[in-house]
Amino acid sequence: MAEWIYFIHPPRDDFAETMTDEENEVWDRHFEHLSRLLADGALVLAGPTLGRVTTGIIILEAPDEASARAIMERDPATAVFVVGRVDPLKLRHYPARGLWIGDATR
């Protein structure tokens, strides 16, 4: 299993403070999507950067790029909030609070 990362760049600065009701509903579906990934064991980490301009960061496990892309494309936030091309990027092994995530042979 490999680790993949993708980013969600909101459509405007101060997005978190100015979401419309429709955007808020999509954000709720995004959170449900992440909760399902967590329950399925595919989600490693997700969260926003903080500040006036926020960026969502999602790290997940998937066997290959096609699988990672399918997971990313099912995320309601990528369909609505992401502007431009988004690709899942493969991560190398890395330490995380004393745990080694990933296969050191990659």
Taking the domains of the chain in order of start, what are their residue ranges?
2-101
Indicate the fold that domain 2-101 takes in CATH: Alpha-Beta Plaits (3.30.70)
Residues sharing a CB contact under 8 Å with residue 49, sequence separation 6 or more, in sequence order: 55, 57
Nearest residue to 4 (alpha-carbon basis) of 88, 93, 72: 88
DSSP 9-43: --SSTTHHHH--HHHHHHHHHHHHHHHHHHHHT-E
pLDDT of the residue at 85: 59
Point out which residues pair with 94 in neighbouring strands.
101
Residue-wise pLDDT for 33-81, tens only, equals 999 999 999 999 999 888 877 888 899 999 999 999 999 989 998 877 6
User: DSSP assignment, residue 60?
Assistant: E
Give the whole-angstrom CA distance, residue 78 versus residue 18. 18
Give the pTM. Answer: 0.80
